[in-house]
Amino acid sequence: MKKTALLTMLSFADPDLRARIEAMPEGTALIGISTTGQAIAVDLDGESPHVLVCTASGGGSTTMLRSLTAQFLHQGAHALVLDTKRISHLWAKALPTVTHRGNIAGIHDAFLGLATELERRLDLDGDLDTVPRLIVAIDEANTTLRRLARYWETFRQKDDPKTSPAIAAP
C-alpha cells in the first residue's frame, strides 16, 4: 500500500494559501488541501446552502467553523455565532457584522430573531442580491437544543407551546 504525505497543519500565514482563498469565487470557502495539492472547498451557491461539521471531541470542528465563518465574513456575509461554551468563538464577539451569543437566553432569542429574519428574506421573493449572506455557526448543536428545551421549561406559561419556538425556528 502506497502511503501519502499528509500536511500536519495548514497555516493562514502561508502566502500560497491566502492566494488560493482570495481566488475562490464568492459563496465558496476553503476546507482544506488534498494530498495532491488540490483545494477542497464548499460551494454554498452551487452545491448546498448548508454545511455540517461533525467530529469527535477535539477533532477540529470549532476550528473549521471559525475558518468557514471568517472566510464568508471576508466575502461580506453577516454571521450569527452561537457559542454555548462561551469561549469557543470569542474571536467573533467584537466584529461589526457578527452577532455573538453565549448564554442560553441569548441563544434562545437569537433563534427567534433568526426565524423573523428568514421570513423577511422569503418575503423578498428571491431578490436577495442586496442582502448579505447570513452564516449561522453553532457548535454542539445537540447540547444546545437540549439546553434550549430545559431553558424553555423554566419560564413556559400554561398557554405556551410545549416545544420552545426557538427549537422550532431553525
pLDDT at 4: 54
Q: What is the mean pLDDT of residues 116-126?
A: 83
Same domain, 43 and 60: no
Q: What angle do CA 52, 66, 147 make, to 5 degrees?
A: 60
Same domain, 128 and 65: yes
Same domain, 65 and 143: yes
Per-residue pLDDT tens for 23-39?
888 889 988 877 777 77
Same domain, 143 and 116: yes
Same domain, 90 and 158: yes
Same domain, 43 and 57: no
Same domain, 67 and 133: yes
CA 102, distance to chain mean position in Å, is: 14
Same domain, 102 and 26: no
Q: Is pLDDT above 80 for 125?
A: no
Same domain, 76 and 102: yes
Q: What is the mean pLDDT of residues 136-165?
A: 88
Same domain, 72 and 146: yes
Q: Give the confidence band of 59 by pLDDT, cuts at 50, 70, 90.
A: confident
Domain coverage including residue 101? 53-168
Same domain, 153 and 70: yes
Number of domains, the chain: 2
pLDDT at 106: 92
Please list, in sequence order, all residues whose beta carbon lies within 8 angstroms of the beta carbon of residue 30, skipping any fewer than 6 positions away. Answer: 17, 20, 21, 24, 39, 40, 41, 67, 71
**Residue where a domain terminates, one of 51, 73, 90:** 51
Determine the Cα–Cα distance for residues 7 and 33; give it in Å rounded to an integer: 8
Per-residue pLDDT tens for 73-99?
988 999 999 888 888 888 888 889 998
Same domain, 76 and 122: yes
Bridge partners (DSSP) listed for residue 134: 78
Percent of the chain predicted with pLDDT > 90:
9
Q: What is the mean pLDDT of residues 130-146?
A: 87
Per-residue pLDDT tens for 1-24?
555 555 555 666 677 777 888 888
Segment 145-148 long-range contacts (CB within 8 Å, at least 24 positions apart): 147/84, 147/104, 147/107, 148/104, 148/107, 148/108, 148/111
Average model confidence (pLDDT) for the chain?
A: 83
Q: Is pLDDT above 80 for 40?
A: yes
pLDDT at 36: 78
User: Would the pTM count as exceeding 0.85?
Assistant: no
Q: Is pLDDT above 60 for 112?
A: yes
pLDDT at 9: 59
